[in-house]
Structure 1
């Protein structure tokens, strides 16, 4: 089940999931210091609340009535694109096709918004995720770097899926 996030309790649940998922997955890729910084800056309750206030659409996905992951979409109606800002599944729920459900949901949301493309960014060293996105029809469009402050850089690929 995929459920839109609107309540503070749900935002708190996402922030808790983010802390767990990021520490499970990203420490070997970007290190503990950057994980701590990014979770606080982009995945805390305050950050998620501010993002929702600024047009992000957050969703929780459940597996066996347990919160298993989350998704954040950012529509750009002018450019006819929909950004997958966040798509994460907790380690213990991987392999249950929940990520596929979130991609399919994102495609349906994009079609509803008359978007021509889905796009996202992914760390260049996150090889399993890159391969998975490619299997979902995403193609690497370009390399991008973002200075996110505190001496940290996001060194990513921008990937795009034509609808």
Structure 2
């Protein structure tokens, strides 16, 4: 099995690497779901170096997912009262199907346990069927539907999903 590392990201250089990878992932995966204009808007608003630095100042923690020394994905979470809000978990299409998404969730579960928390919460686009199926397979449950205005006339039309983590 290839060597996978999940490494904390804090430097501008780390965020530049993630921003570049995010653009590749989002333009390929999300353009058919939400369209190119909304993808471009969301990349700038949520996945740019400046956006990541602001999120870190608000308590988010970013991690790079590397396989055999290559950056193939990233994740970000923020601690909440009872758990971690998994804001981002993305794996490049060339690295999907190798268990990296599951490894990322296992990493986050370990963080939940280390911190004495009890759950992972995330949101996922309602039309992102493959990701929803993967989350359900890993034990997440849909808890509610969310429609959030994110500006410029765009909305995020998501499911909230939660995974209870035993201690």
RMSD: 0.6
Please state how far the C-alpha of 1:114 moved relative to its aligned partner.
1.2
Task: Name the SS of the counterpart of 1:121 in structure 2.
Answer: strand
Is 1:86 the equivalent of 2:94? no
Partner of 2:60 in structure 1?
Answer: 56
Is 1:67 the equivalent of 2:58? no
Partner of 1:142 in structure 2?
Answer: 144
Task: Name the SS of the counterpart of 2:157 in structure 1.
Answer: strand
2: distance between equivalents of 1:34 and 1:151?
A: 9
> After superposition, what is the alpha-carbon deviation per residue over 1:73-101, rounded to whole angstroms, capped at 9, x for unaligned?
1101xx21111100000111111111111
TM-score, L = length of structure 1: 0.97
Partner of 1:132 in structure 2?
Answer: 134
Please state how far the C-alpha of 1:115 moved relative to its aligned partner.
1.2
Structure 2 unpaired stretches of 5+: none
Candidates 150, 153, 165, aligned match of 1:151: 153
Partner of 2:114 in structure 1?
Answer: 112
Task: Name the SS of the counterpart of 2:27 in structure 1.
Answer: helix
Structure 1 unpaired stretches of 5+: none
Q: Give 4+ residue runs of structure 1 displaced > 3 Å after superposition.
A: none
